[in-house]
């Protein structure tokens, strides 16, 4: 990690000239106000018992990390339980274990594709007080196999009872059905799979879910429930198209509560994927996020319709196929996560669920010890912390996020304005990302340091901040690591969330500079940002 002396030396070194003054808008972005719990997670269905634990042994490490984010953003992350493995899960009433899975490496080396769950699976929903969940039901096998349909009928009562304690978020029926006929793990639909057939099967299955909820958990059926996130498509360029599914009546019962879409910037084995060119690249992130807006706007054409059915990323992360070591698990991926989340918020995404599973390379944390990965807080989690700190307490003082275009594809900035009440329009925070790569290890895994690494450059950013009082002291919080390829030694404002220190609870490190301020002069504020780092500026209320 960067020590006090190293940071002082770095910021005193030669940096780029402040060639531009970037203007921060004086008013909040009307499209950029997220919902509460904007920083949220999606947990792979087969991994959920390991992330959450059970009644007798809850996973307190996971819960500590969730609570950290809740303290910053005013609401605990919402947890979507789903992913590919929800569409392999069948129910076995006599099974004592929560989940038994068989991994077939020819289909996927990272998760089981033959899965049976028992009653104990649903205990995991009771381990994290105050957290709200969505449960993913099996559409992949549920609509065309008798044991799949029986699983649906048998598990709805178990799920709804587990989620009848103020911990229900929403429901989901099927994960990425647009890939059902082309899945690399094995197609579960014929090649003529189309939107009308999907809509019919989804309506049939959700009708069964509704019937079972009304029978076994009638209080959850009040006020038009149950509601769903849908269509949970993998993207916009696949076999099924969301606008056509809606034209074929997907939401004819008006029970889609969130329009959920999924996103990955690229694939773990895709050619040409690099940290700098793929992840630490604002232009690439903008293009990927923007690609989802046309279909949403084509379906929900008015502001009222969009308010009624908010746009969310129900599942997303850096590189599909569970990420690549040296890329998805690095500090550079944490910087990408900040850029991705804040840009998504700025263009209208109301909540973002970052996906993870046991042993996944892009995960925010590893919940248990395995022979493939050590239990611990991973680099991407620190990106989530920085996003939550940018948003602040959305329940008390909601903000709106605005993207501020900068000169290079390797940098980004976002303003957070208070969006309501007496403080509306006041600049609350400003996050600046310098995503120029700076590497300090030989192999990207942090195992061997580069001998005599070159000096670390720094960039100077000046922002015109109308309304900010001249002479005001602006708080500076830094997200730091030794380089973009670092996988450990990361801090936010001097805080570490490592498992080894306090099982994920925040611990202030005394060898990292904190308490730094910048001063507003002539309506401008200037800050230096080392390459491969981020800074959060906190403006005083008065």
Active site residue ranges? 195, 315
- Whole-angstrom distance, CA of residue 123 vs CA of residue 120: 5
Cis peptide before 494 (omega within 30 of 0): no
Q: Encoding tokens for residue 195?
A: 């939107």
Number of other residues whose CB lies within 10 A of the CB of residue 114: 13
Strands (E) in 435-497, as ranges, are 458-465, 473-480, 491-492, 495-496
CB atoms closer than 10 angstroms to residue 515: 9
Sign of the torsion formed by the C-alpha atoms of 467, 471, 472 and 476: positive
Contacts of 252 (CB under 8 A, 6+ apart): 203
Nearest-angstrom CA–CA distance, 244 and 249? 9
- Cα four-point dihedral sign 343, 344, 348, 350: negative
Q: How many CA atoms lie within 13 A of 325 on its CB side?
A: 8
DSSP bridge pairs for 401: 416
CA–CA dist 142, 223 (Å, integer): 27
* Closest by Cα among 340, 244, 350, 231 to 298: 244
Q: CB 149: neighbour CB atoms within 10 A?
A: 17
By the 8 A CB rule, do 362 and 318 touch? yes
Cβ atoms of 48 and 103 closer than 8 Å: no
Residue with tokens 């997200």: 479
The number of beta carbons lying within 10 Å of the beta carbon of residue 346 is 21
The bridge status of strand 427-434 relative to strand 533-538 is: antiparallel
Question: For residues 542 and 537, what is the distance between their CA atoms, to the nearest angstrom?
Answer: 15
Structural tokens at position 182: 């082309």
Euclidean distance between CA atoms 87 and 51, whole angstroms: 19
| Look-up of token digits 């600046």 | 432
Residue 177 to residue 202: CA distance in whole angstroms: 10
Structure tokens at 334: 């944490």
d(CA 165, CA 125): 10
Alpha carbon distances (Å) from 173 to 138, 169, 176: 6, 14, 10
User: Other C-beta atoms within 10 Å of 542: how many?
Assistant: 6
Q: Taking a C-beta distance cutoff of 8 angstroms, is the pair 77, 40 a contact?
A: yes
Q: How far apart are CA 1 and CA 494, in angstroms?
A: 10
Both tokens assigned to 312: 């969310």
């Amino acid at each position: 990690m960067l020590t006090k002396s190293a940071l002082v030396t770095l910021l005193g070194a030669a940096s780029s000239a402040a060639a531009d003054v970037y203007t921060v808008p004086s008013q909040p972005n009307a499209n950029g106000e997220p919902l509460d719990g904007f920083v949220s997670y999606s947990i792979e269905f087969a991994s959920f018992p390991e992330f959450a634990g059970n009644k007798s042994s809850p996973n307190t490490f996971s819960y500590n990390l969730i609570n950290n984010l809740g303290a910053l953003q005013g609401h605990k992350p919402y947890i979507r339980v789903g992913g590919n493995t929800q569409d392999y899960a069948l129910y076995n009433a006599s099974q004592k274990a929560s989940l038994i899975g068989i991994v077939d490496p020819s289909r996927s080396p990272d998760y089981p594709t033959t899965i049976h769950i028992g009653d104990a699976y649903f205990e995991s929903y009771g381990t994290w007080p105050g957290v709200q969940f969505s449960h993913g039901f099996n559409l992949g096998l549920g609509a065309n196999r008798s044991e799949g349909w029986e699983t649906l009928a048998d598990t709805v009562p178990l799920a709804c009872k587990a989620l009848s304690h103020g911990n229900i978020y929403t429901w989901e029926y099927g994960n990425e059905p647009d890939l059902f006929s082309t899945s690399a793990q094995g197609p579960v639909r014929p090649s003529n799979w189309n939107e009308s057939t999907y809509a019919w099967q989804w309506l049939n299955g959700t009708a069964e879910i509704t019937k079972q909820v009304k029978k076994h958990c009638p209080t959850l059926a009040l006020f038009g429930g149950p509601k769903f996130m849908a269509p949970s498509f993998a993207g916009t360029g696949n076999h099924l198209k969301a606008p056509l599914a809606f034209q074929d009546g997907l939401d004819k019962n008006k029970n889609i509560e969130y329009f959920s879409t999924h996103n990955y910037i690229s694939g773990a084995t895709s050619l040409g994927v690099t940290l700098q060119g793929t992840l630490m690249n604002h232009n690439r992130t903008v293009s990927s996020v923007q690609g989802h807006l046309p279909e949403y706007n084509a379906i929900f054409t008015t502001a009222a319709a969009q308010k009624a059915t908010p746009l969310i990323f129900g599942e997303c992360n850096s590189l599909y196929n569970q990420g690549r070591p040296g890329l998805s698990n690095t500090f550079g991926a944490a910087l990408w996560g900040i850029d991705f989340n804040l840009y998504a918020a700025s263009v209208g995404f109301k909540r973002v669920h970052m996906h993870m599973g046991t042993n996944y390379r892009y995960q925010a944390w590893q919940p248990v010890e395995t022979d493939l990965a050590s239990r611990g807080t991973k680099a991407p989690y620190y990106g989530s912390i920085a996003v939550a700190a940018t948003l602040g307490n959305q329940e008390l003082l909601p903000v709106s996020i605005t993207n501020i275009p900068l000169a290079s594809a390797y940098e980004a900035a976002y303003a957070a304005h208070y969006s309501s009440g007496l403080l509306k329009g006041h600049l609350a925070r400003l996050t600046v990302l310098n995503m120029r790569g700076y590497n300090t290890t030989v192999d990207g895994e942090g195992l061997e340091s580069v001998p005599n690494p070159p000096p670390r450059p720094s960039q100077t950013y000046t922002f015109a901040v109308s309304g900010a009082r001249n002479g005001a002291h602006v708080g500076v919080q830094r997200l730091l690591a030794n380089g973009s390829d670092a996988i450990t030694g990361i801090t936010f404002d001097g805080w570490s969330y490592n498992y080894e220190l306090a099982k994920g609870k925040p611990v202030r490190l005394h060898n990292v500079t904190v308490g730094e301020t910048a001063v507003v002069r002539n309506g401008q504020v200037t800050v230096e940002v080392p390459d491969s780092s981020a800074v959060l500026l906190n403006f005083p209320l008065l």
